[in-house]
A and B are shown apart, each in its own frame.
Chain A
Amino acid sequence: MLVSLFITCYNDTLFPETGKAVVRVLERLGHTIEFRREQTCCGQMHWNTGYLREAIPIIRHFVNVYRDAETVVAPSSSCVSMMRDHYRKAAELAQDTKLAAEVEMLLPRVYEFTEFLVKKLGVEDVGATFAHKVTYHTSCHSQRSLHLGDIPIRLLKRVRSLELLPLENPQECCGFGGTFSIKNADVSSAMLADKVRTVLNTGAEVCTAVDNSCLMHIYGSLHRQRTFVRTAHIAEVLACTAGGDGGVH
């Protein structure tokens, strides 16, 4: 299958390893990856901060880039939920019926990475080996917007040598929330402190998730506290093979 990778703006800039891992996993499964270099961003930051008008050109740009793509895969549940939850309204707000129609056509072909593996490809065992203790953080968008349920867990359970340790209060937000972490830094930090405590309580070496945004937030505190717990996007865990390099930085 020809898979068009939407890396997302922050993974592109801050977490290129995640993109490389997605490529490695999908190529290992025999799929062809294309990367459209015109891609930028889904518009989520602007939209969620209330800059709706400013988000529209970005959204329009996304739709233009992927209009003819066979399948779009993004390693970020929050970006995919931005599209599913808000693109229709954005088109309505822009009073652009053509955009609305294109959004309708495109959305069913856009997948979050783990959703793509399990729901679209029907794969749970991606042939990975990862000899570490891992805990899984359930991001808000993955559970409440995309309703991924146990999809990421099912993938992790099929990784050889991986010891999965359950996280307490998995349903609770880590406190990132995009610009919320800056506009309400104190509350966000308090939420993060609770989350990080539960991560440390698991005794895991690695905390993984389907969103690097949460992981960047969680790691920010783990690093500040000088702990040795690392964070890694689930794609980076799934990319590891016996004898291969870790892929986890």
Chain B
Amino acid sequence: MHSGRRRRRALTEKRESPWSHRSFPEAAKELLADSQIRRNVRHATNVIQAKRNRVVAELEDWEQLREAGAAIRAHALEYLDNYLVQFEENCTRAGGHVHWARDAAEANGIILDLLRRHAAKEVIKIKTMTSEEIGLNRNLEAHGIHPHETDLAELIIQLGHDKPSHFVVPALHKNRQQVREIFQREMNLPDLGEKPEDLASAARAYLREKYLRIKVAISGANFLVAENGAVCIVESEGNGRMCLTLPDVLISLVGIEKVIPRHRDLEVFLQTLPRSATGERMNPYNSIWSGVHAGDGPKEFHVVLLDNGRSPILADSEARQTLQCIRCGACLNACPVYHQTGGHAYESVYPGPIGAILTPQLHQMQEGRTLPYASSLCGACYEVCPVKINIPEVLIHLRSKVVQKDQKTIAGRLGLWNMGMQAAAFLLADADRFSMAQHLGQIGQKVVVSQNGFIERLPLMLSGWTQTRDLRPLPAQSFRDWWAEREKAKKNYASHETIKRNDTKELGDAGKH
């Protein structure tokens, strides 16, 4: 294909993206006002966190598992070209077909071609964030093919015309009453109860007919194994197993970073992933297969390897660790920012701390520029990450990229933040300048100090602080001035003592005479 055409298609794709492009603070403000979402998110993350902490504490070798997981993932990325080629060879040998897609448009094109070849009008899908990333459902619908989400949470999202807010539990922002309303309306079940059991049964009945009828399925994958071409999918409900075994044709759309070297490496990730993701010791179902197997499962199997902005991330040795992610979502559940806003504020398929570093990089820092700042750098994400991605470190690294990019423009250089930081850097690099600034501040602050002696309103970019917080004014004397005074007093005292002592001595000496 001509690259011009490809680029145009990519642009169209971008415009069609379901995610608008507000800044994180803007989007967060709106979500903070939704107390229902906040309560739902808070409840769900508290429950998962507690379960996760309990099952992680059971394993005495948790830190060693994290270390091994990080090492294996980093190694796989370092030799990614080699392992992808190995996977392709082995998957093909086992009867699978491997396709490569540079971007969302290419991946959509490949999948559409395959579906057309099988004259598919409907497909069943296992939850895959990668398909959200390329806007697959919208694209299929635009071409007259109806995708049915089979994961309970994704079904709730699809029927509710909503967006996922978490990549393990995409509908955690909905409570049972809201789910019931959606199912009542969309499944035409006016008498449906609101117990989770009722809702799950409704989904079982709704989907069972589709599993038995629809002959093409689309999935993502948790891991690709290079040495034997195996694919591994971890799930809970059995909807995954249905999609992986009942249809005649299976298409797995997978990011290129998902490959691991050997089968035995799964012994690490199948311990760390479920414990981190859902707080289970092992997921109810893990499926592992390679290619096609006579008499068992699909007759045709395709893997679409998707780049879509991943490969350039490898060039940044500092940020490359972002691609180690195994999508457990533990960092979302641990994040105090995510607790407040939920996933939608990130305006990306990948929310939370990992999304804050992954999203802007997938877009070469052209989009999601406020995301690296959507963190208090508290470090809770790094602490729980099962593959030890140092998210705070990468956040700072990406902030520096944003800053440097801004500084290349005149507007950026003259912006308040840049000017303020440059001035502060100048003052803080020398004690005399710093001390002078302290004195100026002590005098200058008088204009902002209220009658009660506190600062209740600050101007410009600092106004965000005083929105909900008062500020104690600078005390009249800095520590360094206090210390100088004390030293001086000590010296005076000491020299006074010396004089006294000398006097006494002289007196004494004199007395001898």
Direct touch of chains A and B (CB < 8 A): yes
- Chain A positions within 8 Å of B, measured between CB atoms, are 7, 9, 11-17, 19-20, 35, 37-41, 43, 45-52, 54-55, 57-58, 61, 85-86, 140-141, 144-145, 171-173, 175-194, 216-217, 219-221, 223-224
Alpha-carbon separation in the docked complex, A191 to B475 (Å): 27
Picked from B421, B454, B464, the residue with its CB within 8 Å of the CB of A185 is B464
A221/B468 in contact, CB under 8 A: yes
Give B146 Cβ to nearest chain A Cβ, in Å: 38
Known: A40-B430, A48-B377, A144-B380. A223 touches B340 (CB 8 A): no
B160 within 8 A of A: no
B424 within 8 A of A: yes
6 A-B residue pairs with CB within 8 Å: A50-B372, A58-B425, A61-B428, A140-B376, A188-B464, A189-B469
B376/A176 in contact, CB under 8 A: yes
B192 within 8 A of A: no
Give A96 Cβ to nearest chain B Cβ, in Å: 15
Task: Spot the interface stretch: B170-178, B258-266, B319-327, B478-486.
Answer: B478-486
B429/A57 in contact, CB under 8 A: yes
Picked from A40, A180, A217, A219, the residue with its CB within 8 Å of the CB of B373 is A180
B422/A54 in contact, CB under 8 A: yes
A46/B425 in contact, CB under 8 A: yes
B443 within 8 A of A: no
Q: Which residues of A contact B18 (CB under 8 A)?
A: none
Known: A9-B434, A14-B474. A50 touches B479 (CB 8 A): no
Q: Which residues of A contact B471 (CB under 8 A)?
A: 216, 220
B484/A37 in contact, CB under 8 A: yes
Q: Which residues of B contact A176 (CB under 8 A)?
A: 376
Q: Which residues of B contact A45 (CB under 8 A)?
A: 424
Give A91 Cβ to nearest chain B Cβ, in Å: 15
Alpha-carbon separation in the docked complex, A186 to B25 (Å): 7
B378/A173 in contact, CB under 8 A: yes
B480/A35 in contact, CB under 8 A: yes
B425/A187 in contact, CB under 8 A: no
B379/A41 in contact, CB under 8 A: no
Give B177 Cβ to nearest chain A Cβ, in Å: 24
Picked from A16, A43, A47, A175, the residue with its CB within 8 Å of the CB of B479 is A16
B428/A177 in contact, CB under 8 A: no
Give B35 Cβ to nearest chain A Cβ, in Å: 11
Alpha-carbon separation in the docked complex, A177 to B470 (Å): 17
Alpha-carbon separation in the docked complex, A127 to B283 (Å): 53
- Chain B positions within 8 Å of A, measured between CB atoms, are 24-25, 28-29, 32, 336-337, 339-341, 372-380, 382-383, 393, 396, 398-403, 417, 421-422, 424-425, 428-431, 434, 438, 441, 454, 456, 461-462, 464-465, 467-472, 474-475, 477-480, 482-484
Picked from B336, B393, B430, the residue with its CB within 8 Å of the CB of A61 is B430
A144/B379 in contact, CB under 8 A: yes
Picked from B28, B417, B462, B480, the residue with its CB within 8 Å of the CB of A37 is B480
A220/B469 in contact, CB under 8 A: yes
Alpha-carbon separation in the docked complex, A220 to B458 (Å): 13
Alpha-carbon separation in the docked complex, A183 to B26 (Å): 11
Picked from B339, B461, B472, the residue with its CB within 8 Å of the CB of A219 is B472
Residue of A nearest to B460 (CB): A182
Known: A40-B431, A58-B429, A140-B378. A187 touches B477 (CB 8 A): no
Picked from B340, B461, B474, the residue with its CB within 8 Å of the CB of A187 is B340
Q: Which residues of B contact A16 (CB under 8 A)?
A: 475, 477-479, 482
Closest 5 CB pairs of A and B: A177-B376, A185-B464, A50-B399, A220-B469, A173-B378
Q: Which residues of B contact A183 (CB under 8 A)?
A: 25, 373, 464
Alpha-carbon separation in the docked complex, A6 to B400 (Å): 27
Residue of A nearest to B383 (CB): A144
Give B495 Cβ to nearest chain A Cβ, in Å: 19
Q: Which residues of A contact B428 (CB under 8 A)?
A: 9, 40-41, 43, 46, 58, 61
Residue of A nearest to B49 (CB): A171
A12/B480 in contact, CB under 8 A: yes
A49/B468 in contact, CB under 8 A: no
Known: A40-B430, A61-B429, A182-B464. A192 touches B469 (CB 8 A): yes
Q: Which residues of B contact A61 (CB under 8 A)?
A: 428-430
A190/B431 in contact, CB under 8 A: no
Q: Which residues of A contact B477 (CB under 8 A)?
A: 16
Alpha-carbon separation in the docked complex, A50 to B421 (Å): 10
Give B379 Cβ to nearest chain A Cβ, in Å: 4
B396/A50 in contact, CB under 8 A: yes
Picked from A40, A187, A221, the residue with its CB within 8 Å of the CB of B434 is A40
Known: A12-B480, A189-B467. A177 touches B421 (CB 8 A): no
Known: A13-B438, A54-B425, A192-B469. A177 touches B374 (CB 8 A): no
Known: A35-B480, A223-B470. A144 touches B378 (CB 8 A): yes
B25/A187 in contact, CB under 8 A: yes
A180/B468 in contact, CB under 8 A: no
Looking at A9, A35, A55, A184, the one whose CB has the most chain B CB atoms below 10 A away is A184
B372/A175 in contact, CB under 8 A: no
Give A220 Cβ to nearest chain B Cβ, in Å: 3
Alpha-carbon separation in the docked complex, A57 to B427 (Å): 11
Picked from B340, B377, B379, B478, the residue with its CB within 8 Å of the CB of A191 is B340
Known: A11-B479, A50-B402, A55-B425. A221 touches B469 (CB 8 A): yes
A187/B32 in contact, CB under 8 A: yes
Q: Which residues of A contact B375 (CB under 8 A)?
A: 177, 180
A7/B467 in contact, CB under 8 A: no
Give A39 Cβ to nearest chain B Cβ, in Å: 7
Alpha-carbon separation in the docked complex, A140 to B372 (Å): 18
